[in-house]
Structure 1
Amino acid sequence: MGKATSSSSTATPTPTPSALFFRCKLLCFSLLYLLTTLFLALYHYLSPTQCLFRSSPFDHPLQTPLFTYPSSYGEHKYALTTHRSVCNSSIFFSDYRRLFKEIQELCRNSSAFTPVLRYMQGKNSGSFGANFSTQKRISYFDHSNDNVEVPCGFFKEFPITTYDRIAMENCSGVVVVSAIFNNHDKIRQPRGLGSKTLDTVCFFMFVDEATLKGLDYHQLISTKSDEYRIGAWRIVKISSNEFYENPAMNGVIPKYLVHRLFPNSKFSIWIDAKLQLTADPLLLIHSLVVSENVDMAISRHPFFIHTMEEAMATARWKKWWDVESLQTQMETYCENGLQPWTSNKLPYPSDVPDSALIIRKHGLRSNLFSCLVFNELEAFNPRDQLAFAYVRDGMSPKLKLNMFDVEVFEQVAMEYRHSLKTNRATSLKGSGAGLLLIDLEGAKLQYCLRFNFKATNNKAEYELDRYLHKGRPCEKI
């Protein structure tokens, strides 16, 4: 009889201790990654805005409201909320403590802000900016020689108190600036400030006599005091009757000459008084300027890309009363090189900004741009969006600019507006015409026509519209 044999099965090798340790370690890392991802996703989902993202939800301590206003103050204003279900352009905020130290080191490093722009000196009784001719202004666009002095306002004394002047000169790091003239807006306190921001960042609000009286009326300040402060803001009164008749033009001085008003500051944020800052200024400076290695950060306009579009809107919506001067301004810019936006202008994504929020590093390029824009605004009108691309494209050296998406702007500032009013000739649905027929017996027949195109009954505006559509290279939009 044959000997029975049994089939032997292949034995599974026993894992070595080192292999088991490696697998255990890999499993732990996988679980840690999964839990971290889920936590950050949950935090991002529950965050009040999905456009802002911080490296850690705990590194930015928020503070309580800085000031309590009486109920009567600002009641005619309402907030414009945004309703975006998704965010296509989020902004990343670094660790607050780390960026705080980084910005402090930058402010102490003077070499990071050289060379220094030199300014033309002298007194001119005619205007604050001397109101140079077109060709004279253009001659300063090419700044190839650092020894050349550039006209940049202050040809008349800037009338502020000695207390305010000393405080402005002592602001040697970051300054946030705003202005209210003719009591047109209300003071909004910044929100979302870090624990050290108020100790290191200066907040200055420039006002005129009418605004100061309004603040005194609401008992927010006492006009008998030499210095005024409301919450985070130091209030600086200037005598507007010594400057421009138009209050908006007076607001251009702190908006574009902030580097001259605060000669020792290294970074600045301009914010229109219609806005309330809802993100820490240090976070904005670091994420939008320092991290991007640019001279300036400003939002794109939500609708317009070409300067001519903004010019037409300025005329159509009566943003500036002298439409004929707008035509002269556009003719001047077209004759001196202004072109519509094309991809050839990249990395500049647009010619029209929303200049309600401007974040600057006070270097030569940024300061030169601000001076040149101010000179254009004094020459024509305070609508800075019209001069923006003309100066930016024509100046040398070129400005390093971060034009971020409008949805980012909407998440770092809250806008307040007056109650909207329209007249009978204005409608969001378009333009129209009415026809009234009366027969011999007095019977009336009324007809209404609505146009699906823009129209105007203003002769000067019509002439501007016709000029902008003649087909010249500058007007092709």
Structure 2
Amino acid sequence: MPSSSSLIQGISISVSDNDEATGKVRVRVRRKRHREPVSARRRRILFRWVRRGVPLLLAFLAVSLLLYESYRLGPFRSPSPRTPVAADLSRLDRSTRAGADGARKSCLKLLNPRELQNLELPETPETSRLIKEVVCRSSQPHREDDISLHRENSRLNSFTGYQTLTEREESFKVKESVTVHCGFYNENGGFRVSDVDKEYMRSCEVLVATCAFGGGDDLHQPIGMTENSIRKVCYVAFWDEVTRAAQEEEGNKIGKDLMIGLWRIILVSNLPFSDQRLNGKIPKLISHRLFPMARYSIWVDSKSQFRRDPLGVLEALLWRSNSSLALSEHGARSSLYDEAKAIVKKHKATPEEVNCQLDQYRQDGIPDEKRFNGKKALAEASVIVRDHAPLTNLFMCLWFNEVVRFTSRDQLSFPYVLRRLNPPGVHLFPVCARKELVNSFGHRRKVKDLVKEAR
């Protein structure tokens, strides 16, 4: 008999010959459909949104980037500070910060133009009671065995003299007459300038100085000065032949009067160090050795353009506060030990060089503190405003010696000299004031170290 099936109350019953014979009925129950777990459903929905959302997100980012570039390059946007174009080179707008009352205030308070035009140098101040004379060791050569002892593992040479650690320690003792190494140790040491340039440098009473060795930077003309300062201030740029050749390719040729714009160009030959950064420390830190008659100087790194009246800057940062040395506070850090970590991280010096310097500073008792005399001790030294009094000259000689002995990162050695010598009249002005003093463009080209034989 063929199989038959019937539906009784939603149950399918199949009957076969064998089932009837045995009296058994096979019941087939319809299985319920299993529902998908909630977590799997959520994952599927999330995947669908991601698959659809990623292209939309990428499209949004592309449009945003396009709009940003259009805004940055448009006529309503000021040029990048790293691009020295004409609009930047004449920028005199003041940097401001919010005061306690919320009003925007200038960080650098200069005298008004009429007062600047009539500003005169103050009377020659009385010599410091602490130090009356700084004697350089230029005429006191070392014994030959001392020279050979220090040639092996030091950057000291016939320009710097071979300062021993005992002499280094003695140089920090403040007394009326101090004898100290301060460059130009030997006439064969290097950093030679012409007799005409020497005569010019002897005529300068106030100067703004910069340098570019190895062709790394362009020459930025100073702006913002009064006619009074143009008459009384020497603007001096130290170059080597590499820089002159690079600048001539840019169309900046030295005139018959040895000038380019307001800058008097001093050509230097026979640079004493293979490290060009170290060569740049000579006019930066020991300008009193180059300008024997100068009373005041302002140093500006070659990557920056000076844009304020020099006499006004001296009045605001030195004379008004009875200071002798003024630098900008460091904008990012306060401790020299934190600065050392940053120097190594940014590959600005080797870990071995930095550790050697820090080991000596720890041995000399310099603590890992972020404040000194209630103020931040770490300085950003791209602008240095100073007088040329004996105590300040000693400070700069000691600072130069630390840069030569250890690393060329002068921010690392400044707080050490500040703590050891502890001179009065050091003014660390806020970063916003530095931004009012200069337009910063950054370094344009990479400078290659000189290949020199050991002296």
TM-score, normalised via structure 2 length: 0.68
Distance 1:313 1:231, change over 3 A: same
Structure 2 contact 117–226 (Cα < 8 Å) conserved: no
Q: Deviations over 1:276-328 (max 9, x none)?
A: 111111111000011010110100011100001111111001112x2211111
Q: Which amino acid aligns with 2:297?
A: S
| 1:131–1:375 CA contact under 8 A, matched in 2 | no
Query: Is 2:239 the partner of 1:207?
Result: yes
* 1:385 alignment partner, one of 411, 421, 442: 411
- Which of 197, 202, 215 aligns to 1:169? It is 202
User: Aligned match of 1:229 in 250, 256, 259?
Assistant: 259
Report the counterpart of residue 190 of structure 1 in structure 2: 222
Q: Provide the secondary structure at the position in 1 that maps to 2:246.
A: helix
Question: Distance in 1 between the 2:367 and 2:119 partners?
Answer: 39
Deviation at 1:390, TM superposition (A): 0.7
1:117 maps to a residue whose letter is V
Does structure 2 retain, via aligned residues, the 8 Å contact 1:113–1:362?
A: no
Q: Once the 2 structures are TM-superposed, how far is the Cα of residue 102 of structure 1 from its aligned partner? A: 5.4
- Give runs of aligned pairs for residues 428-443 of structure 1, distance below 5 A: none
Work out which of the residue numbers 382, 385, 388 in structure 2 matches 1:356. 382
Q: Which residue of 2 aligns with 1:443?
A: none
157, 160, 181: which one pairs with 1:129? 160
**Inter-CA distance 248–419: structure 2 relative to 1 (3 Å threshold):** closer
Tell me: CA distance 1:419–1:143, structure 2 relative to 1, closer, same or farther (3 Å): closer
Structure 1 pair 85/154, CA: closer, same or farther in 2 (3 Å)?
A: closer
Match of 1:238 in 2: 268
Distance 1:153 1:282, change over 3 A: same
CA contact (8 A) 1:129 1:152 kept: yes
Distance 1:131 1:399, change over 3 A: farther
Following TM superposition, by how much is the alpha carbon of 1:166 offset from its aligned partner in structure 2, in angstroms?
A: 0.3
> Residue 167 of structure 2 aligns to which amino acid in structure 1?
K
Unaligned stretches of 5+ residues in structure 2: 1-82, 99-103, 148-156, 447-455
Q: Which residue of 1 aligns with 2:303?
A: 274
CA distance in 1, matches of 2:383, 2:159: 24
**Alignment partners' CA distance in 2, 1:315 and 1:162:** 42
Greater radius of gyration (CA): 2
Aligned counterpart in structure 2 of residue 142 of structure 1, from 147, 152, 173: 173
Specify whether residues 419 and 207 from structure 1 end up closer, same or farther in structure 2 by C-alpha distance, changes over 3 A only: closer
Q: What is the SS of the residue equivalent to 2:376?
A: coil
**What is the aligned length?**
337
Partner Cα separation in structure 2 for residue 419 and residue 212 of structure 1:
15
Q: How far has the Cα of 1:95 moved from its partner?
A: 4.3
Query: Quick check: 1:159 aligned with 2:192?
Result: yes
Find the aligned partners of 1:250 and 1:148 in 2 and give their Cα distance: 25
Q: Is the 8 A contact 1:306 1:351 kept in 2?
A: yes
Kindly state the Cα deviation for residue 97 of structure 1 after the two structures are TM-superposed.
Answer: 5.2
1:236 aligned counterpart, secondary structure: strand
Choose which of 340, 363, 372 in structure 2 pairs with 1:335.
363
For the 8 Å contact 1:131–1:379, the answer to whether it is kept is: no
Identity of aligned residues (%): 27
1:307-322 → structure 2 map (5 Å cutoff):
307-320=336-349, 322=350
In structure 1, distance between residues paired with 2:235 and 2:378? 27
Partner of 2:391: 365
Structure 2 Cα separation of the partners of residues 170 and 113 of structure 1: 24
What SS does structure 1 have at the residue aligned with 2:171? coil
Change beyond 3 A, Cα 1:74–1:237: farther
Counterpart for residue 401 of structure 1: 426
Say if 1:100 and 1:282, in contact at 8 Å, map to a contact too: no
Q: Which residue of 2 aligns with 1:324?
A: 352
Q: How far is the alpha carbon of 1:128 from its aligned partner? A: 1.3
What is the TM-score of this pair, normalised by structure 1?
0.65
For residues 46-102 of structure 1, the C-alpha deviation after alignment (integer angstroms, 9 at most, x for no partner) is xxxxxxxxxxxxxxxxxxxxxxxxxxx967xx8999986635662222245546655
What does 1:288-299 correspond to in 2, within 5 Å? 288-299=317-328
| Deviation of the 1:120 alpha carbon | 1.9
How far apart, CA to CA, are the structure 2 residues paired with 1:247 and 1:271? 17
The question of whether the paired residues in 1 share the 8 Å contact of 2:209 and 2:236 is answered with yes
Confirm or deny that 1:104 pairs with 2:136: no
Is the contact made by 2:127 and 2:390 (CA closer than 8 Å) also made in structure 1? no
Residues 208-240 of structure 1: CA distance to partner in whole angstroms, max 9, x if unpaired? 1110111222332259x6x6211111111112x
